[in-house]
A and B are shown apart, each in its own frame.
Chain A
Amino acid sequence: MITETLRRTPLFEVQKQLGARMVDFHGWELPIQFSSILKEHQAVRNACGLFDVSHMGQVIVEGPQSLDFLQVITSNDVSKIGPGKGQYSHILNERGGVVDDVILYCLAPHRYFVVVNAATTDKDFAWMRSHSKGYRVELQNLSELYGILAVQGPRAEQIVGDLLPEVKALDRFGVFEKEVFGKKCVVGRTGYTGEDGFEIIAFNEVLSRLWETLLVNGRSFGMLPCGLGARDTLRLEAGYLLYGQDIDDDHTPLEANYAWVVKFQKPDFIGKQALLKQKSEGLKKSLKGFKLLGGGVPRAGCGVYLDSVRLGELNSATYSPTLGVGIGTGYVNQTNLKVGSKVGIEIHGKKVQAEAVPVPFYTCG
């Protein structure tokens, strides 16, 4: 029997001291919670939360044809972002399926910083490498060098602003580079929680000091260290996708209700033809949101029924701390299922009444 040692971020020991309960997340030993998922979730919605997302990957794309290259391998229009701006996008395969969902930051003309998911870092880099032939572009996988801290919540600007005053003037999806504790960091006004916040991409050497500084700065504002448990409840409420669970190589952004991330007016890009075809033929499945009308907690895998007809199953589901009720998303074959439709969600063998609702389930402000 092969037992693999789990990878740890530089903050593992410090997090254990704070009472973190660890879990295996795609080969990484990460905190699922520090105090309580509910408390951490509420802290992000009402004050601030600090997340270590150093397991994610970073790829630098630079060179005179970096824009052309990125336009071909991603679904969104990269020409819309200039230096100082970031963008959420999907890397697609030829079938229009999602290789990964990413955030691209343009740091300078011909220089982009791409943040990719932890489980797909190697796959993404290999994919990008193989499709970069013929382009004057250089790719570097710098994932081993960097970590990321996410500061999320209405108090994030005040807390981070103490260390980085530039954030006060930063627009949503804005990005800048600055030296912090002697090492250059990339700071984006981005996040995965549905609240205002920042993701600070820093070299491993300064990560501990950054974590401690933010935690101390944030204490009087009610900031809590948060784990993957709260990260998941927050992102699902905000309608964000989880790669590998909601989208993957076999699901398209159109099916996932993320058509806005596909810019068909771009010249040809990988997946464009397949998606045009899917658009004209009509979708065979569509990701919908559901909210329980009764008590209970829906989970991934729970069947979704319209009377006795099984429409599909939930792929992401949880108890929503903000709404105080179970929520979930799932692909259903009845693509025209209207918001307000009453369905049954099968939990522990019993159908609990639920209704189709718009996603996101929660919006800030």
Chain B
Amino acid sequence: MANPNSCKFAKTHEWVSLNGNEAVVGISDHAQHEITDVVFVELPKIGRKVKQGEAVAVVESVKAAFDIYAPISGEISAVNESLVKDPSLVNQSPYDQGWFFKIKPSNPTEANNLMDHSKYQEFVKTTSH
């Protein structure tokens, strides 16, 4: 269960919850609302090495497909299999049961170039129509 107020956010609307060697990643409530009903999620393979900003997952709604980007660099250590059976968890519980994958961070200082929750909310306000 991630608390948005202790998460870091990327401009591409992913959140990351840093817990030492295991960072959990998902998408924000704003993102799930914009994407609308998620009907399919394509998750990365466990063990894959990813770079900050790299497209690593895909979310499909009825109307469009969206890339999900790694908010920090590292190695994929786990993926949320529940999303395969029930993609709607992304909409229903974006910070809890709707988590996407976990990363073993390779460069913990990278999180410094992400936004905290209040900065992210400001960012959403200024960039939203």
Q: Looking at the complex, which of B36-44, B74-82, B111-119 is the stretch in contact with chain A?
A: B36-44
**Interface digits, A299-319 against B, CB 8 Å rule (1 contact, 0 not)?**
100000000000000000011
Cα A321 to Cα B38 in complex, Å, equals 11
For B40, give its contact among A32, A37, A297, A321 (CB under 8 Å). A297
Interface residues of B (CB under 8 A from A): 36-37, 39-40, 42, 58, 60-63, 65, 84
A229 touches B58 (CB 8 A): no
A22: min CB distance to chain B, Å: 11
Chain B contacts for A36, CB-based, 8 A: 36-37
Chain A contacts for B37, CB-based, 8 A: 36-38
Which B-chain residue is minimally distant from A232 (CB atoms)? B62
Which A-chain residue is minimally distant from B67 (CB atoms)? A348
Q: Chain A: how many interface residues by the 8 Å CB criterion? A: 15
A-B contact count, CB below 8 Å? Answer: 36
A233 touches B62 (CB 8 A): yes
Cα A255 to Cα B48 in complex, Å, equals 46
Chain A contacts for B36, CB-based, 8 A: 33, 36-37
Which B-chain residue is minimally distant from A319 (CB atoms)? B39
B37: min CB distance to chain A, Å: 5
A38 touches B42 (CB 8 A): no
Which B-chain residue is minimally distant from A37 (CB atoms)? B62
A319 touches B58 (CB 8 A): no
B117: min CB distance to chain A, Å: 25
For A295, give its contact among B61, B62, B63, B84 (CB under 8 Å). B84
B84 touches A37 (CB 8 A): no
A138: min CB distance to chain B, Å: 42
B84 touches A297 (CB 8 A): no
Cα A16 to Cα B112 in complex, Å, equals 40
Q: Which 6 A-B pairs have the closest CB atoms?
A: A297-B60, A319-B39, A38-B37, A37-B62, A36-B37, A319-B62
B24: min CB distance to chain A, Å: 23
A15: min CB distance to chain B, Å: 17
A248: min CB distance to chain B, Å: 22
Cα A38 to Cα B63 in complex, Å, equals 11
Cα A37 to Cα B35 in complex, Å, equals 11
B51: min CB distance to chain A, Å: 20
Within 45-80 of A, Cβ neighbours of B (below 8 Å) are at: none
Chain A contacts for B63, CB-based, 8 A: 32, 37, 229
A292: min CB distance to chain B, Å: 10
Chain B contacts for A37, CB-based, 8 A: 36-37, 61-63
A295 touches B40 (CB 8 A): yes
B30: min CB distance to chain A, Å: 14
Which B-chain residue is minimally distant from A228 (CB atoms)? B63
Chain B contacts for A161, CB-based, 8 A: none
